[in-house]
């Protein structure tokens, strides 16, 4: 709790001081910023780095034409799509040659030559740090980093999540995690879930 409070105080003081300094320094230089406050926050820089990196990747991207083969079989009134394991090729003639082979064989129908199954495991997700949280929010939810942090702050204020503005994703070895979970077992809301974590 003391570490969280210290981080909050540091963020507030550093943010206030640098926001004032940047606003007073750059507003006279750029008239279009005269009515704007130039905000500074220690947590904004990792997010800014992510945004700039993504922008540069988009700028450097060179589109290249590719071709793929898609097949669809009608079976008992249902359309069954098939994808090409190769995915795509950048050589049009090679794809055309393969396509012609498929067309030549199509009157004979399709034959299943192999069926394979393999188990897949889904591991529990690791705790998120600020940068990973904003990346996931942008890629999966199409949410801006600012909106993501705003929602995380609201969830934190309501007591649903731990302090979001941290790069820590694990407990220190000296912390009694089981003891912390044990305290939660008395809750009428999530006590049963906390009990399953101790089992």
Tally: H helices and E strands in the chain: 7, 2
**Inter-residue contact 19 to 11 (CB < 8 Å):** no
| Distant-in-sequence contacts of 160-166, Cβ < 8 A, 24+ apart | 163/4, 163/7, 163/8, 164/130, 164/133, 165/7, 165/11, 165/42, 165/43, 165/130, 166/7, 166/129, 166/130
**Inter-residue contact 113 to 120 (CB < 8 Å):** no
Tokens representing 178 are: 């089981």
Which residue blocks in the chain are alpha helix, DSSP H?
A: 2-26, 44-60, 92-105, 130-141, 145-157, 177-184, 191-198
CA angle 14, 18, 20 (to 5 degrees): 120
| DSSP structure class, residue 116 | -
Is 40 an annotated catalytic residue? no
Q: Which of 26, 40, 156, 163 is catalytic?
A: 163
Which residues are annotated as catalytic? 163
């Amino acid at each position: 709790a003391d570490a969280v409070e210290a981080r909050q105080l540091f963020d507030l003081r550093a943010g206030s001081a640098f926001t004032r300094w940047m606003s007073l320094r750059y507003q006279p230089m750029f008239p279009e910023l005269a009515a704007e406050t130039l905000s500074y926050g220690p947590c904004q820089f990792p997010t800014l780095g992510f945004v700039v990196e993504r922008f540069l990747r988009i700028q450097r991207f060179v589109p290249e034409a590719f071709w793929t083969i898609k097949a669809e079989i009608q079976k008992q009134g249902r359309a069954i799509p098939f994808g090409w394991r190769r995915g795509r090729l950048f050589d049009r003639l090679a794809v055309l040659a393969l396509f012609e082979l498929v067309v030549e064989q199509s009157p004979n129908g399709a034959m299943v030559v192999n069926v394979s199954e393999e188990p897949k495991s889904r591991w529990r997700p690791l705790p998120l740090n600020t940068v990973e949280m904003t990346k996931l929010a942008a890629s999966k939810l199409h949410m801006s980093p600012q909106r993501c942090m705003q929602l995380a702050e609201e969830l934190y204020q309501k007591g649903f999540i731990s302090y979001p503005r941290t790069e820590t994703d694990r407990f220190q070895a000296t912390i009694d995690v089981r003891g912390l979970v044990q305290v939660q077992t008395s809750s009428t809301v999530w006590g049963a879930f906390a009990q399953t974590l101790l089992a």
